[in-house]
Chains A and B, each alone.
Chain A
Amino acid sequence: DGGITQSPKYLFRKEGQNVTLSCEQNLNHDAMYWYRQDPGQGLRLIYYSQIVNDFQKGDIAEGYSVSREKKESFPLTVTSAQKNPTAFYLCASTPFIGGFADTQYFGPGTRLTVL
């Protein structure tokens, strides 16, 4: 089945540690996104990528980094510079058709907790 996988489902981290969240898709989509969701709030865009080896900052990129070495993979690293990293993280993808008009497909999410 085609889809987006995120791992792990739950992740715990000590303060001061970097941690990497995985996002893989087998939909052959060109564009991929990372969002953060805090309780009672909507999704906020962290980074997005239109093609391999290229990505753009979203609204809350500070303290995060990404890479796009392969079309199917878009890992997100939460660095120690992120002051409040505890949140739910969602990865999404879209086929690249014109101006990003197509539907975003979402992964199941990763819940990150800083201890």
Chain B
Amino acid sequence: AQTVTQSQPEMSVQEAETVTLSCTYDTSESDYYLFWYKQPPSRQMILVIRQEAYKQQNATENRFSVNFQKAAKSFSLKISDSQLGDAAMYFCAYRSAAGKSTFGDGTTLTVKP
């Protein structure tokens, strides 16, 4: 079975600074997909960024980028120029090619003004 580990239950960052959230996963599959989701206090899950395992190039979406290390099974999220609206719980998720998803326990990000 796949597992996803987020080793940082809480993180804080100063507004306009950069923060990196960690995620590691365990799988024996070669074809899979990785995601970062944001869950603000409203509890609505919002996709931040996605990465296909077969792509070597790291995904980027505006201020959000990932560092995908397939051999190390690591998938960290970097948030640049942090904004107050970035404060939320962030979840790393693994999805197998067959469609089954596994989520980490989340990292609560606080942004200090």
Q: Please judge, given known A-B contacts A99-B31, A99-B99, A100-B95, whether A41 and B43 are in contact too, CB under 8 Å.
A: no
Whose C-beta in chain B lies nearest to the C-beta of A99? B97
| Tally of B interface residues using CB under 8 Å | 28
Complex Cα–Cα for A41 and B46 (A): 16
Do the beta carbons of B45 and A42 come within 8 Å of each other?
no
Complex Cα–Cα for A4 and B44 (A): 11
Chain A residue contacts of B105, Cβ below 8 A: 40-42
Chain A residue contacts of B68, Cβ below 8 A: none
Do the beta carbons of A48 and B100 come within 8 Å of each other?
yes
- Binary CB contact string for chain A from 31 to 66 against chain B (1 if under 8 A, 0 otherwise): 101010000111111001010000000110000000
Out of B35, B42, B52, B106, name the residue touching A41 (CB < 8 Å): B106
| Tally of A interface residues using CB under 8 Å | 25
Do the beta carbons of A44 and B103 come within 8 Å of each other?
yes
- Number of A-B residue pairs at CB separation under 8 A: 64
Do the beta carbons of B43 and A103 come within 8 Å of each other?
no
B33 lies within 8 A of chain A by Cβ: yes
B98 lies within 8 A of chain A by Cβ: yes
Chain B residue contacts of A74, Cβ below 8 A: none
Shortest B61–chain A CB gap in Å is: 12
Q: Please judge, given known A-B contacts A48-B100, A100-B97, whether A42 and B43 are in contact too, CB under 8 Å.
A: no
- Binary CB contact string for chain B from 75 to 100 against chain A (1 if under 8 A, 0 otherwise): 00000000000000001010111111
Which residues of B are at the interface with A, using a C-beta cutoff of 8 A? 1, 4, 9, 31, 33, 35, 42-47, 50, 52, 91, 93, 95-106
